[in-house]
Amino acid sequence: MRSIPWESPPYIFINSIAEFFGGDKAEVAIFAGFCYNGEHQEKERMDKIMSEVCVFLADGFEEIEGLTVVDLLRRAGIETRTVSIMGQEEIQGAHGIIVKADSMFENTDFSEVKMLVLPGGMPGTIHLKEHKGLEKLILKHNEEKKYLAAICAAPTVFGGMGILKGKKAICYPGMEEGLTGAEVTCQPAVTDGHITTSRGLGTAIDFALALISELRDKESADTISKQVVYER
């Protein structure tokens, strides 16, 4: 193991702590290293925890659409993780709300994830469309007929990949051209096969309840609906 000189910046701090408390510098260094490694290992462990659902966050995402899904699914006991595609944990929503993601895309294990969820918002949806790693993951999920979900502008991400052809789908009003090949409907949320789409912020609860119905059952969705005093 390479040794680090005691006069280097990290150990200047360690020297100060040792002098203040009257402790041994080596013991302080070992303790500092233990704390750092423990925190680092815990972060790696958390990134590897298997989640049923991943909600992808990008700068400019519609906060209500993303967080309503996270909130209601967790109420239903569904392990749900927020994943940043921006290369940093802190994400700024379309209305300036800062959200700290549970993990970053490049550090997340998607092998056992059952559902991928895309919130809308601008420019969040554009960032989702431009992320090649996410595109590859969505296409793989689609091939395996695993659950896919998107709301507001985000269904156009699926449309651009050609995976809505022949399926009923919905999006934010005025963006229907982006649902390439889909049979456009006018419901708060629509599920066709393994893909669920929804219209926008005002239908976020309907969207989340539809996802609970898919992952669990209608009874579970109805229970959550009653808990949050939402009448369908």
Lowest mean pLDDT of 1-5, 17-21, 172-176, 181-185, name the range: 1-5
Q: How far apart are CA 227 and CA 182, in angstroms?
A: 34
DSSP β-bridge partners for residue 155: none
Tokens describing residue 183: 């049979």
- Residue 68 counted as domain residue: yes
pLDDT digits (tens, 9 = 90+) for 125-183: 999 999 999 999 999 999 999 999 999 999 999 999 999 999 999 999 999 999 999 99
pLDDT higher than threshold 50 for residue 44 = no
- Best CA proximity match to 83, nearest among 50, 111, 107: 107
pLDDT higher than threshold 90 for residue 28 = no
- Residue 2 counted as domain residue: no
Mean pLDDT value across residues 201-210: 98
Count of the separate structural domains present in the chain: 2
CATH number at residue 102: 3.40.50.880
19 and 108 in a common domain: no
**Per-position b or e across 155-186, b if 16+ CB within 10 A of its CB:** bbbbbebebbeebbbbbbeebeebbeebeeee
- Residue 187 counted as domain residue: yes
Mean pLDDT value across residues 72-93: 98
User: What separation in angstroms does the CA of 143 have from each of 35, 131, 155, 195, 213?
Assistant: 43, 19, 17, 12, 22
191 and 125 in a common domain: yes
126 and 202 in a common domain: yes
37 and 109 in a common domain: no
Confidence of residue 49 (pLDDT cuts 50, 70, 90): low
- Residue 105 counted as domain residue: yes
- Residue 1 counted as domain residue: no
Q: What is the pLDDT of residue 232?
A: 77
State which residues form the domain around 20: 9-46
64 and 33 in a common domain: no
40 and 55 in a common domain: no
106 and 210 in a common domain: yes
19 and 124 in a common domain: no
26 and 66 in a common domain: no
Q: How far apart are CA 156 and CA 170, in angstroms?
A: 9
pLDDT digits (tens, 9 = 90+) for 93-107: 999 999 999 999 999
Tokens describing residue 23: 């402790």
